[in-house]
């Protein structure tokens, strides 16, 4: 009875089909033996050869049975591993296609940004030429004699004015007319006059940031450097101007504030440039108030016109958009071929800062990968060209050692974002280190988000 | 004959119950389930063997190949300690389920009458 059953064509076909679905050889042999034993027992009971096909039919579809048996033999660990592997493959595929989509999206955004820069190029150059004659915005690394950083850098985080911020905040709206709050009356502003002894302000040569300079300096996240509390400068300037108005001796106060604006501009930071413009606007308000009070006559002091200040603000802002590796052709056109633009040092500093992170994601790590480092070449060129004009010591150092500095940003969880978003950013950047297509999309995204917003000033006007 | 749709989800309990008394091989289990149900439950081979293999993978039952004189080798299954605990749990779940269904149907029937 045993041999005929084992060799019966229907049985052989049935068992072959069931076992074809089972991959493990030992399991396959066991299932074969077990089902044969079942058929034998059933045959022994019915005793007729004709019923073999009917008996086999009772098992249902052999392919389905084989698949069900294979699944039944899978342990939980195997099931979890299988699900995990499936999930990982699906995840990588999703990442791949979404990365391609975002890479195309950001490339288009970068292209549009370059087109916009080209469109605004002649206006930008005209405005730069007009503003280039203003000595306040000259940039030079030569003839620097005294660094206000020695005096200011250690005092930036805490000072009388920051401690009195609630009073300052309420008073500043009408600072030239409203009575000075009692607490502000006691504030010592001798330092505003003392700053006249300095001709520039370096945030790195002394104070808390000085330890980040030099070949032995540890890499640090450029976005988390101790930032000066710039807001105390406008607060101090208002109080100083107001005291000048009240003493009817405004010109020295106007000169002090003008000098303060110059120092703020020489920090080579965008915020320093914007604070400089804010200080010049205050100077203008104090000048107008001094005329109204009959302290001085129109023309006694050379202030900037309101339109000129607005143009300065826009141009300093837009310069940041031009000094960028997202549009290398336009950047070279502006920075490498004409007179040195105003606002160039802070603009290049901003570019260098974003270069540090983007560079780490635009380089080729694996074979056949696309290398996009040439996009960043322009930042090296701008830094080289800027040597007679800008100090940018920290930025030069960070660009050379960009890998170390980029790592600090990733380790910090991209500290510009907090909480869940911070963690999300962190893992996105870590993932970018290992997946070529994801890294390239991320690199393009970093380029695309870095600067295009700076030219919106022009676009909004149009 | 019990509607096979109603049996879905209860087959594991029934197989465990069949094996609670003694060890059995596949064909024997099928016959035992038929006997226990008074012929009301007809278990198909295509349903039984995947359940047996799943329970074995989960260590609720264990198996042993035995060869009697003049007989083909047979794979005997028996309940493990884990299988007994599982049977107890499944029986308790079934009891709760049955009570709820009975209660609901009784309410429905009262409403109809």
Q: What is the pLDDT of residue A392?
A: 96
- When comparing pLDDT for B88 and A229, which is higher? B88
Dist CA A236 CA A259 (whole Å):
13
Per-block average pLDDT, block size 10, for chain A (462 residues)?
A: 75 94 89 92 73 87 93 84 93 91 92 90 90 88 90 73 72 90 86 92 92 92 80 88 96 97 95 95 97 96 93 91 90 87 94 89 85 88 95 95 89 64 76 86 86 74 62
Percentage of chain B beyond pLDDT 90 is 59
Question: In chain B, which residue's Cα lies nearest the Cα of A2?
Answer: B72
Structure token pair of residue A420: 């869940």
**What DSSP character marks residue A327?**
S
Of A36, A58, A75, the CB nearest to B44: A58
Q: Cα distance from A89 to chain B (closest Cα, Å)? A: 27
CB contact under 8 A, B72 and A2: yes
Dist CA A245 CA A212 (whole Å):
42
> Which of A95, A93, A121, A208 is closest to A157 using CA atoms?
A208
**What DSSP character marks residue A22?**
-
Q: What angle do the packed helices A344-362 and A402-411 form, to 10 degrees?
A: 80
Structure token pair of residue A231: 């807001």
Structure token pair of residue A93: 């595929």
Dist CA A19 CA A62 (whole Å):
9
Dist CA B91 CA B100 (whole Å):
14
Mean pLDDT of B55-62: 94
Q: What is the pLDDT of residues A50-61, one digit of tens each?
A: 578 888 998 999
Q: Is A117:A327 a contact under the CB 8 Å cutoff?
A: yes
Structure token pair of residue B77: 């299954």
CB contact under 8 A, B49 and A36: no
Q: Is A335:A385 a contact under the CB 8 Å cutoff?
A: yes
Interface test with chain A among B31, B59, B72, B77, by most A beta carbons within 10 Å: B72
Q: What is the pLDDT of residue A329?
A: 92
Per the rule left: phi > 0, alpha: psi between -120 and 50, beta: everything else, A177 is alpha
Helices first, then strands: H and E counts in chain A: 23, 0
Three-state SS string over B15-44 comes to: HHHHHHHCCEEHHHHHHHHHHHCCCCCCCC
**B61-66 and B24-25 beta bridge pairing:** unpaired
Q: Cα distance from A83 to chain B (closest Cα, Å)? A: 18
Q: What is the pLDDT of residues B99-111, one digit of tens each?
A: 998 888 887 666 6
Q: What is the pLDDT of residue B49?
A: 95
Dist CA A292 CA A298 (whole Å):
10
C-alpha distance from residue A235 to each of A135, A227, A275, A278 (Å):
25, 17, 11, 11
Chain A residues within 8 A of B49 when measuring between CB atoms: 31, 34-35, 38, 65, 68-69
Dist CA A315 CA A334 (whole Å):
13
Q: What is the pLDDT of residue A1?
A: 45
C-alpha distance from residue A403 to each of A224, A324, A328 (Å):
17, 19, 22
Q: What is the pLDDT of residue A243?
A: 96
Of A37, A58, A68, the CB nearest to B72: A37
| Terminal C-alpha separation, chain B | 27
Q: What is the pLDDT of residue A157?
A: 63
Q: What is the pLDDT of residues B65-83, one digit of tens each?
A: 998 777 778 999 999 999 9
> Which of A67, A62, A45, A55 is closest to A8 using CA atoms?
A55
Detail the DSSP E strand segments found in A105-146. Answer: none
Chain B residues within 8 A of A40 when measuring between CB atoms: 72
């Amino acid at each position: 009875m045993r041999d005929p059953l084992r060799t019966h064509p229907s049985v052989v076909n049935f068992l072959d089909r069931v076992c074809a679905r089972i991959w493990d050889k030992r399991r396959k042999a066991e299932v074969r033996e077990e089902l044969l034993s079942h058929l034998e027992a059933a045959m022994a009971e019915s005793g007729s050869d004709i019923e073999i096909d009917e008996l086999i039919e009772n098992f249902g579809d052999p392919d389905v049975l084989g698949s069900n048996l294979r699944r039944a033999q899978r342990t939980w660990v195997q099931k979890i591993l299988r699900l995990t592997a499936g999930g990982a493959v699906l995840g990588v595929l999703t990442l791949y296609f979404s990365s391609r989509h975002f890479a195309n999206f950001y490339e288009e955004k970068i292209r549009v940004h370059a087109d916009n820069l080209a469109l605004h190029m002649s206006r930008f150059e005209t405005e730069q030429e007009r503003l280039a004659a203003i000595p306040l915005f000259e940039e030079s690394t030569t003839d620097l004699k005294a660094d206000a950083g020695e005096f200011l850098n250690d005092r930036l985080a805490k000072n009388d004015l920051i401690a009195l911020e609630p009073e300052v905040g309420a008073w500043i709206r009408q600072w030239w007319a409203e009575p000075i709050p009692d607490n502000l009356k006691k504030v010592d502003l001798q330092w505003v006059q003392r700053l006249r002894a300095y001709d520039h302000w370096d945030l790195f040569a002394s104070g808390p940031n000085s330890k980040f300079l030099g070949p032995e300096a540890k890499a640090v996240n450029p976005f988390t450097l101790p930032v000066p509390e710039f807001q105390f400068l406008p607060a101090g300037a208002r109080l100083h101007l107001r005291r000048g108005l009240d003493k009817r001796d405004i010109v020295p106060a106007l000169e002090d504030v003008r000098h303060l604006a110059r120092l703020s501009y020489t920090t080579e930071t965008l915020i320093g440039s914007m604070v400089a413009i804010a200080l010049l606007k205050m100077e203008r308000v104090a000048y107008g108030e001094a005329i109204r009070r009959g302290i001085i006559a129109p023309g006694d002091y050379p202030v900037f016109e309101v339109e000129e200040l607005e143009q300065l603000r826009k141009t300093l802002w837009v310069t940041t958009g031009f000094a960028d590796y997202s549009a290398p052709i336009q950047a070279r056109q502006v920075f490498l071929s004409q007179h040195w633009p105003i606002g160039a040092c802070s603009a290049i500093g901003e570019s260098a800062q974003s270069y540090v992170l983007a560079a780490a994601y635009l380089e080729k790590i694996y074979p056949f990968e696309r290398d996009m480092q040439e996009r960043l070449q322009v930042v090296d060129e701008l830094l080289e060209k800027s040597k007679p004009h800008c100090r940018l010591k920290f930025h030069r150092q960070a660009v050379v050692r960009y890998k170390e500095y980029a790592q600090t940003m990733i380790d910090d969880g991209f500290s510009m974002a907090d909480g869940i978003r911070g963690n999300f950013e962190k893992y996105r950047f870590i993932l970018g280190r290992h997946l070529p297509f994801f890294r390239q999309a991320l690199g393009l995204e970093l380029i695309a988000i870095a600067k295009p917003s700076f030219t919106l000033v022009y676009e909004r006007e149009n | 004959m019990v509607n096979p749709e109603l049996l879905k989800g209860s087959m594991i309990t029934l197989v465990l119950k069949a094996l609670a008394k003694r060890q059995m091989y596949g064909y024997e289990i099928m016959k035992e389930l038929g006997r226990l149900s008074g012929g009301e439950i007809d278990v198909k081979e295509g349903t039984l063997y995947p359940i047996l293999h799943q329970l074995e993978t989960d260590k609720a039952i264990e198996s042993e190949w035995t060869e009697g004189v003049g007989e083909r080798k047979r794979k005997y299954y028996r309940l493990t300690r884990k299988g007994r605990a599982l049977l107890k749990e499944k029986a308790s779940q079934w009891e709760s389920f049955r009570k709820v269904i009975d209660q609901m149907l009784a309410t429905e029937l009262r409403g109809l009458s």
